[in-house]
Structure 1
């Protein structure tokens, strides 16, 4: 039997992230969450943003844990996970916002390129993409703890690692996304808010 997963980091960062999403997603209707993980974020954000439909997604192996959180919450605006590998051909459709947390440093850079490109293709003009996690600036780590985290990630898989903000911004701009806010967050993380411009 699957036990309900729990990530302490989700518990610690959900409130400061929500503070940003309340404004960033105030005029949105359907959010695609890429990499819903445990499901904790989805439950917290959907409950606080009842005007939104929140679509969870992840690799199939994480669906059972996500569903346990969703079943317990029983929210009408929170939808069971769809299988999504960002490199796959078929993506969900109809969303006007995207949220992802702590995925950009886990997936290989080729997948980051694919993810941002597809988000840019599928978001309508005015659509919003909120991207949470650690980033480097000017080629430098923002803290010793982030440098240590990056070493740990690369020991697990050399394709992982904290990404350079400037490289991510270049991808986003190419995809028609423009940075509208870069928020400092707890534990040396950032929340980047991009908006699709035609």
Structure 2
């Protein structure tokens, strides 16, 4: 049996200190609002690299528990119906209607140097957005988002990277949503038909 001999302690040496790695802090300051129009109430709309394509009009929604891809984007990415897996749980759309998904697909999203795989639920419904990114994507990226600052921040190595929103695109999406609203019949017209 062999025994390893430990070096004798030098009574004059200082104790070794634990090596501390400083991690950058994810947060927002007033400096992050520079370049944005304030005050505002815009949604957070970004451009993301989904698969091999730069996709515009992607809404980041912390309130969403799933990632949604609208059928126009699905077709635009040249994906086939055969690429979908089954997903049958109904969803509630922005206008309160029940939407039955077409299916589900897993795709990579590249953000800076990071790539995360995301399960998109594909729906055939109107939306001014091409996709909605929710908490699963934010958590996989270890990101935080701020509608006030119009940014998404996430750690990458020893630094913080940012995705900056397009306020003009967010406003275009809002206008498209308002213009798409079905016309509401007046109460008197409805009463005439009774």
Query: Is the TM value for this pair above 0.5?
Result: no
Q: Report which of the two structures shows the higher radius of gyration computed on alpha carbons.
A: 2
Structure of higher RCO (CA pairs closer than 8 Å, 6+ residues apart): 2
TM-score bucket of the superposed structures, by smaller chain: under 0.3
TM-score by length of 2: 0.24
TM-score by length of 1: 0.23
